[in-house]
Copies of this chain bind each other. A is one copy, B any other.
Amino acid sequence: MQSDQPPARPVGRGAKVRAAVHAATLAELVDKGYAALSVENVAQRAGVHKTTVYRRWKDRESLLADALAEHMAMDIPVPDTGAIATDLRALARSLVQTFTSPTGQAVLAAIFTGAAHLPEIAAARRHVFDDRLARAEPVVTRAVERGELPRGTDPAELLKTLAAPIYLRLLITADPVDETTADQAVRVTLAAAHAGVLRPAHDGEPATG
């Protein structure tokens, strides 16, 4: 048998099983919550044998972490409207939508309450955030190139400033989270960016260009 390297992204049976199991994991989470999540139920819902699941994931925790990472990575648009205000509004509103949808609420409950004590989940939380941040960075670099934002504006600082008030309300305060929350986050972020305070942390780089 030839053992050529397989293509980087196979879309064969393996990928289909992964996708079906991921979808079933999220559906189980939405319907029954983290406490009731089991490999058996996920396998049944995905229409595969549970040994098929165990061949790829060692336990429900790693399955959940993997399904969450995949879901959250796919769930982010990278807008390119030609203007930073509308790009940031789209990003902030999509973050709000992600976490206020039924799936998003179930995900949030799992990663911040039910499964919050699992190291895999803490790692997935950071991974998901970093991944979304990396995907959204072009929004900021394009705006700097267009001259809409000061040179030296740090994409990560800016995007964290945008996300922070939304997460604060989702995780700590009892405030409603809606489009108003998203739009207010955009106003605060743009004010800070225009004032030139969203530079890289610990950075004293001159604003050359």
Binding site for B on A (CB under 8 A): 112-114, 116-117, 122, 125-126, 129-130, 157, 160-161, 163-165, 167-169, 171-175, 180-181, 184, 187-188, 191-192, 194-195, 197-198, 201-202
Given contacts A168-B168, A187-B192, A188-B198, 9 further A-B contacts (CB under 8 A): A112-B171, A113-B117, A126-B172, A126-B174, A160-B168, A180-B201, A184-B197, A191-B194, A195-B195
Q: List 8 A-B contacts (CB under 8 A).
A: A125-B172, A126-B174, A129-B173, A161-B165, A167-B172, A180-B201, A187-B195, A188-B188
**Which residue of chain B lies nearest to A191 when distances are taken between CB atoms in the complex?**
B195
Q: How many copies does the complex hold?
A: 2
Find the residue from A129, A171, A181 having the highest chain B CB count within 10 A.
A171
CA distance A126 to B161 in the complex (A): 21
Contact of A112 among B112, B173, B194 (CB under 8 A): B112
The majority secondary structure among interface residues of chain A is helix
Give chain B nearest CB distance to A196 CB in angstroms.
8
Q: Which residues of B contact A112 (CB under 8 A)?
A: 112, 116, 171
Give chain B nearest CB distance to A98 CB in angstroms.
14
Assuming A114-B117, A172-B125, is B197 touching A191 (CB within 8 A)?
yes
Can you list the 10 inter-chain pairs with the closest CB atoms, starting with the nearest?
A191-B195, A164-B164, A187-B197, A164-B168, A188-B192, A191-B192, A116-B116, A164-B165, A113-B116, A113-B117
